[in-house]
Structures are given as C-alpha cells and as structure tokens.
Amino acid sequence: MERNTQQRQAILAALKKAGRPLSVQEVLQSAQKKCPGLGVATVYRNLKALINEEELISVDMPGGVVLYEIPHSEHHHHFSCVKCSKVFDVEACKFNFQKLIPEGFQLSKHEILLSGLCRTCSS
C-alpha cells in the first residue's frame, strides 16, 4: 500500500469533489489548488497506484481517452458533452440486454455512452 501523501489526498479530493469522471489534466488542475507543486507524472503515478488499490477505476472512452472516477456501488453509464467534452455519470442501469443478444450468446458486461449537450452547454 502506498503512503497517504499530500499529493494523493489532493488527487482523491479532486475526484470526490468533481463527482464525475475526470481526465488526467482535469485531476491535475483541480488537485493543484490544494497542492500547487503537483506535476503530471505524480498524478499518473498516483492514479495507477489508486487503481491497483481499487480506490479508483478507469473509464475507457472512445478515441483512447481514459478518465478516472471513484468506484460506484451500482453499475452505471456515462454522458459525454459534445461541446465541453466533460463526462458525467448516468446513474443505474435498468436495461434487460438478455432480450437483445443472439441465442446461445452469454453477456458478460456492457457499456453505454450517451452524448449530447450538458446542462451548462445547452443553456
């Protein structure tokens, strides 16, 4: 287990405060408010360690972009704003995909990404 450093605390605080998946740059910008000397290499190193310790999860987005978030207790999906590029959680999944998959197939997981304009960008 890694030490609970000031940098790590700032990174976790940034993700908790945002309440949505963040890119490395978003984590860096937010965490630097609490820890001004924080660099991108330290953010990457801490994100990797926090994922290994299961305190964070990564969210793979189209185009190879990886975001980071605090794990949820429930399976959920994401909404991506096409204007500001921010990604938001869409809570809970109430779909029954068993009806959609071909006969004889077994579904192990699914991901849905909705896109459009977020509340701020649509105003």
pLDDT in tens, 24-36: 999 999 999 999 9
Q: Over 70: is that where the pLDDT of 1 sits? A: no
40 falls within a domain: yes
Residue 37: the pLDDT is 93
1 falls within a domain: no
Residue 81 banded pLDDT, cuts 50, 70, 90: very high
Q: In what order do the strands lie in the sheet with 87-90?
A: 87-90, 77-81, 113-116
Residues 20 and 56 in one domain: yes
Domain that holds residue 100: 77-122
State the average pLDDT over residues 75-101. Answer: 90
Percent of the chain topping pLDDT 90? 77
Residues 65 and 93 in one domain: no
Residue 2 banded pLDDT, cuts 50, 70, 90: low
State the average pLDDT over residues 51-57. Answer: 95
pTM: 0.85
Residues 94 and 49 in one domain: no
Assign 3-class secondary structure to 39-85: CHHHHHHHHHHHHHCCCCEEEECHHHCEEEECCCCCCCEEEEECCCC
Residues 61 and 11 in one domain: yes
Which domain CATH number covers 106?
3.30.1490
Strands 77-81 and 57-60: what pairing? Answer: unpaired
Domain count along the chain: 2
